[in-house]
Amino acid sequence: MTQLAAPGWREVLRGRQGRLLVGLVGLETVGAIEQLVAVTAMPAAARALGHLALYGWVFAVPGLAAVAVIPVAARDLDRAGPRRALLLMALFLGGGTLVAGAAPDMLVLLAGRLLQGVGTGLQYAVGLGLVVRDVRPAHRARAFALLAGAWVLPGMVGPMLGGVLAGTLGWRWAFWAFLPLVGVGLALVWPVAGRAAPAAPPAASAPLRWSLQVAGAGVLCLVAVTQLTAATVPLLASGLALGLPAVARLSAGGQTAAPRSLRLALALVALITLAFFAVNSFLPLLLTRVRHEGLILASLAITASTLGWSLGNWWQSQQVARWSARRLIALGTAALGIGILGVAATLAGAPAVLADVAWTVAGAGIGIAYPTVYLVATQAAVAATAAATAGLVMVMDTLGASAGSGLAGSAVALARQGGHGVAVGLAGAIGLALIAAAAALALVWWAVPGPAG
């Protein structure tokens, strides 16, 4: 395959496009800090508010809200330009953060997280939309690399900040300290984004109903499996009946038929993120509640995974021209599985520091696998639908992460309902993650083409 020389960074960051990319990196950094701070602050919040059965919901609900909002926001961006979406993003992120930090109980905290999820969906749509519309095609790979790199600094300071604030001033300040950053992110993008001229809608995109239907079905399924009652079976059946057809249509871009390679790539995205976030969202709880470690060590595990993800992403970018997509995705997925096994060993009594090492490996694995699957998906789409396909990858990524967090939370909730400890529920969550990683690895070897002979 002929490789074209990548444009230099000076060229990519020149003029208005450079100012736009700097603003988008700032916006992505703000979103990254918000997400990472919440992960490490949640054990303290759960201890204060109770209702551990809803722990997984705290991470699943924002993702489901984002899944519903992303396509709506993308269409609004095409019609009205980015400024309205940016204002709404700031309002929902800021309002959700205020509500979450002031929450007197877990249900109000969930309401705040729902609002934050809407804001996150708007942020994703604005970031992707502005890159696709306003960054020259030859520069987009560099632009996406910049956005991925925006997680490096938050990965170093975000989890630690969440742990320190929750352990000193209290978990509420772990949310409230994020508020000024919302204004900073808005100020960085607003001056440049305001000049963007609305573009025509993409040639093909999934109807909004499928994303909304998936989000609603996800809520039904989570309600069904959080507590076993007489309503569990009908709720679960209703959620699956609504959700499975919607996921199938969503993965086809709203079409009745889509390239098989695209469907399989989107399935891989969902499985990989499900496996990772089923553990990632609960690792601080495992270390603090089961292994009785402090929030600082718990935050280090999340920091390690984020830095591992960035390193894996960088290494993948150096090897993507030399290695086949199948080898890269298989290597990354295998590393993710090894990391999950290391966390399982920590749960079983291995030294707690093993979790840091294992989750660094897992982060590197998903850093290698995820961008490669992204390339496979976009290469499977025709040029006219490349932007819509990028949005689909984001939706399936978010859906997989929400499903992982939600189902892992259900494992914890059902274990406690059955009279078992948190450790039993976490073992179920880790088992779920291993199944998803194994399914992804099998799908890679079956579905992704190997190198040309």
C-alpha neighbours within 13 Å on the C-beta side of residue 89: 33
More confident residue, 144 or 397: 397
* pLDDT higher than 60, residue 348: yes
Cα separation, 320 vs 224, in Å, equals: 42
| Mean per-residue pLDDT, 226-248 | 80
| Mean per-residue pLDDT, 231-259 | 72
| Mean per-residue pLDDT, 303-307 | 88
Most confident segment among 244-248, 254-258, 304-308, 385-389? 304-308
pLDDT at 202: 46
Query: What is the amino acid identity at position 306?
Result: T
* pLDDT higher than 50, residue 1: no
For the segment 154-164, what is each residue's pLDDT rounded down to a tens digit?
877 788 888 88
More confident residue, 335 or 418: 335
| pLDDT-based confidence at residue 227 (cuts at 50, 70, 90) | confident
| pLDDT-based confidence at residue 295 (cuts at 50, 70, 90) | confident
Domain boundaries, the chain: 16-201, 207-251, 259-453
> What does the DSSP 8-state code read for residue 420?
-
Query: What is the amino acid identity at position 3?
Result: Q
More confident residue, 382 or 296: 296
Among the listed residues 236, 230, 280, 267, the one whose alpha carbon sits nearest the alpha carbon of residue 409? 280
Comparing 117-121, 224-228, 333-337, 422-426, the range with the smallest average pLDDT is: 224-228
CATH topology of domain 259-453: Growth Hormone; Chain: A; (1.20.1250)
Q: 16-201 and 259-453: same fold?
A: yes
Comparing 19-28, 194-203, 305-314, the range with the smallest average pLDDT is: 194-203
Please state which CATH number belongs to domain 16-201.
1.20.1250.20
| Mean per-residue pLDDT, 406-418 | 88
pLDDT at 194: 67
| pLDDT-based confidence at residue 4 (cuts at 50, 70, 90) | very low
Most confident segment among 7-21, 243-257, 383-397? 7-21
For the segment 184-209, what is each residue's pLDDT rounded down to a tens digit?
888 888 887 765 454 444 444 455 67
Handedness of CA 371, 372, 375, 381 (dihedral sign): negative
pLDDT at 174: 87
| pLDDT-based confidence at residue 278 (cuts at 50, 70, 90) | very high
* pLDDT higher than 80, residue 412: yes
The fraction of the chain above a pLDDT of 90, given in percent, is 23
Three-state SS at 238: helix
| pLDDT-based confidence at residue 40 (cuts at 50, 70, 90) | confident
For the segment 88-142, what is each residue's pLDDT rounded down to a tens digit?
988 999 999 999 999 999 999 999 999 999 998 888 888 877 877 777 777 776 7
Comparing 219-233, 296-310, 419-433, the range with the smallest average pLDDT is: 219-233
Cα separation, 264 vs 278, in Å, equals: 21
For the segment 88-99, what is each residue's pLDDT rounded down to a tens digit?
988 999 999 999
pLDDT at 276: 95
**Residue 294 CB partners (closer than 8 Å, separation 6+):** 163, 167, 288
Length of the chain: 453
* pLDDT higher than 60, residue 406: yes
**Residue 82 CB partners (closer than 8 Å, separation 6+):** 126, 129, 130, 189, 193, 194, 196
